[in-house]
């Protein structure tokens, strides 16, 4: 019988400002635009119906939206 695996996890919480900075880094690295530019396009519906895998970076940034929107 295999020995049980023990794993530890560390959870840290970010402030709203830290979350905004991290989201901006994601936007700039994955979409080559600022948070404000991405959110303006998102809110205008520019990505409605888009294939998240066909638009480079969209999946990573869209999945991180809860960092700046709740």
* 3-class secondary structure per residue, the chain: CCCCCCCCCCCCCCCHHHHHHHHHHHHHHHHCCCHHHHHHHHHCCCCCCCCCCCCCCHHHHHHCHHHCCC
Q: What tokens does 25 get?
A: 């880094």
For residue 53, what are the domain limits?
A: 17-67
pTM of the model: 0.80
- Chain centroid to Cα 38, Å, comes to 11
Tell whether 8 is covered by a domain: no
Q: How many domains is the chain partitioned into structurally? A: 1
31, part of any domain: yes
The answer to whether residue 53 sits within a structural domain is yes
Q: Is residue 27 part of a domain?
A: yes
Average model confidence (pLDDT) across the chain: 94
Domain assignment present for residue 37? The answer is yes
Residue 56 lies in a domain: yes
Whether 68 has a pLDDT exceeding 80, the answer reads yes
Q: What is the pLDDT of residues 8-41, one digit of tens each?
A: 888 889 999 999 999 999 999 999 999 999 999 9
Q: How far apart are CA 19 and CA 66, in angstroms?
A: 9
Evaluate whether residue 40 is within a structural domain.
yes
């Amino acid at each position: 019988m295999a020995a049980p695996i023990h794993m530890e996890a560390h959870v840290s919480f970010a402030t709203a400002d830290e979350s905004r900075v991290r989201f901006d880094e994601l936007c700039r690295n994955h979409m080559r635009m600022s948070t404000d530019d991405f959110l303006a396009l998102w809110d205008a519906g520019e990505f409605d119906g888009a294939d998240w895998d066909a638009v480079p970076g969209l999946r990573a940034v869209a999945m991180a939206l809860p960092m700046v929107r709740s």
